[in-house]
Amino acid sequence: MKVITRFAPSPTGYLHVGGARTALFSYLYARHHGGQFELRIEDTDTERSTEASVNAIFEGMNWLGLEYDSEVKYQSKNLARYHEVLDQLLENDQAYYCDCSKERLDKIREQQMKNGEKPRYDGKCRELGLKKSDNTIIRFKTPKTGEVKFKDHVRGEITVANSELDDLVIARADGMPTYNFSVVIDDADMGITHVIRGDDHINNTPRQINIYQALNLPVPEFAHVPMILGDDGARLSKRHGAVSVMQYSDDGYLPEAVLNYLVRLGWSHGDQELFSKAEMIELFDLSGVNRAPSSFNTGKLNWINQQYMQQTDSARLAQLLNNRLAVLGIAVDDSIDLSAVVDMFKDRAHTINELAEMGLFLLQPLTGYDEKAEAKAFKESAIEPLKAVIAKCEAIDDWASADLHQMIADVVAELEVGFGKVGMPVRLALSGQAQGPANDAIMQVLGKDESIQRLQNALSHLRQKFA
């Protein structure tokens, strides 16, 4: 049997972390088994579905590299098919028209709640044989007896008595099919063998299985993956910060790192943390999906992203850095080699955005000097070392191949002072900070003119201060 899975988002917002994780698991399961992965847009809720959301879903899946195999299916384009099956169910007395008013339904619900009963439709119209009219909905005739049993790949065996289920609505008064109905028709028509989705749908599954059975359709296998919690233990939502997948792109994460992070949200393989996509495909199986909810942990995402950044080619990171700088409105001078900036910080930065922040002093004129560092490093005794370094810099013809580290060492030797007496004021002059990359590396990136300019600015600053 060829495995066919699908991701079936409702386009009512961007692709969020939970959806992306579900998509990834479905994708990996299909790829692992040499099967097919499909995308279906569940857009029958015309009020809440938007084209912008559809595009956001494509964008997110594309960014993460979750390729699907066939043309995207849209439920909104499949209405004729749903109506065909609805008619069939009505004809076979497996569904019926219901004209119960909202007021009546509210009232019985209220009464049931008062009696401590589970609210459900009481079946008033089930045997009335009503004809279609403007305000009739269609309900599915759930069997009154018996039970639904299925083996969930994550949750194990689940049994629900039909007496627990009511006659669910399968088409609204405007003729639009409901989720529980259209999902069955599409999953069956698309030959879906494994339905992998969030466990918020687990209560829908027995209802859907009854529909499969009424239509004599093969029932797929199910895997309901546990929800994702925020760091505070509540279900992950907007207020936890970035939940849209594309927000992680904006925040400077690499897609392969986010993918790696997502696969570990609820799935494990021993204690391995880092997985290439090929490895995920090779190792993923539903038996490794945890039953307990997983918690989103930004610290871990940052760690994973840092690991990936360290392994990533500097030219690619430089391109991403360039994009980030463009977002910040910073035009980079042609003389600046962004790969060199990347190399300087890629072991320390967790994200591209952090890298941009760390490297900003190289790309923009300094706006001042760190106060604490200034008190320590810009003493009167720093004037001579700065002058000496400037003189040596000016004498260098071939900056790119100059040994700038040796140049500073020479100044230290000539002035017969400790290394810090030269190194500290030079670093502060070049970077405005006390800590950071090596002075020779900074000067290499800045180039001869800018290096000298910054050293001279510091020198005039010191001269004024001690005049």
Site of interaction with ligand GLU (CB under 6 A): 8-10, 42, 183, 197, 201
Nearest to 41 by CA among 26, 63, 56, 25: 56
Would you list the DSSP string of 246-283?
HHHHHTT--HHHHHHHHHTSSB-STT-----HHHHHHH
Residue 186 Cβ vs ligand GLU, minimum distance, rounded to whole Å = 9
Tell me the β-bridge partners of 140. 95
Whose tokens are 């009219």? That residue is: 133
* Secondary structure of residue 96 in the 3-state scheme: strand
User: Closer CB to ligand GLU, residue 167 or residue 186?
Assistant: 186
Q: Are 42 and 8 a contacting pair, CB within 8 Å?
A: yes
User: Closer CB to ligand GLU, residue 201 or residue 269?
Assistant: 201
β-pairing, 73-74 with 36-41?
parallel
The token pair at 69 is: 């195999």
Whose tokens are 């790119």? That residue is: 400
User: Closer CB to ligand GLU, residue 19 or residue 436?
Assistant: 19
Q: Are 414 and 406 a contacting pair, CB within 8 Å?
A: no
User: Closer CB to ligand GLU, residue 38 or residue 450?
Assistant: 38
Sheet holding 169-171, edge to edge: 95-98, 137-140, 169-171
User: Closer CB to ligand GLU, residue 199 or residue 384?
Assistant: 199
E strand or H helix at 443, and its extent? helix 439-465
User: Closer CB to ligand GLU, residue 10 or residue 268?
Assistant: 10
Dihedral of alpha carbons 69, 155, 270, 274, sign: positive
For residues 106 and 90, what is the distance between their CA atoms, to the nearest angstrom? 26
Q: Are 236 and 296 a contacting pair, CB within 8 Å?
A: yes
Tell me the β-bridge partners of 229. 235, 295
Residue 310 Cβ vs ligand GLU, minimum distance, rounded to whole Å = 36
Would you list the DSSP string of 146-205?
SEEEEEETTTEEEEEEGGG----EEE-TTSPBPHHHHHHHHHHHTT--EEEEEGGGTTTH
User: Closer CB to ligand GLU, residue 181 or residue 267?
Assistant: 181
The token pair at 404 is: 């700038």
Residue 10 Cβ vs ligand GLU, minimum distance, rounded to whole Å = 4
Residue 73 Cβ vs ligand GLU, minimum distance, rounded to whole Å = 12
User: Closer CB to ligand GLU, residue 197 or residue 346?
Assistant: 197
β-pairing, 137-140 with 95-98?
antiparallel
User: Closer CB to ligand GLU, residue 223 or residue 304?
Assistant: 223
User: Closer CB to ligand GLU, residue 197 or residue 277?
Assistant: 197
Residue 179 Cβ vs ligand GLU, minimum distance, rounded to whole Å = 6
HEC secondary structure over 350-401? CCHHHHHHHHHHHHCCCCCCCHHHHHHHCCHHHHHHHHHHHHHHHCCCCHHH
Residue 5 Cβ vs ligand GLU, minimum distance, rounded to whole Å = 10
User: Closer CB to ligand GLU, residue 75 or residue 351?
Assistant: 75
Residue 200 Cβ vs ligand GLU, minimum distance, rounded to whole Å = 7
The token pair at 239 is: 């207020």
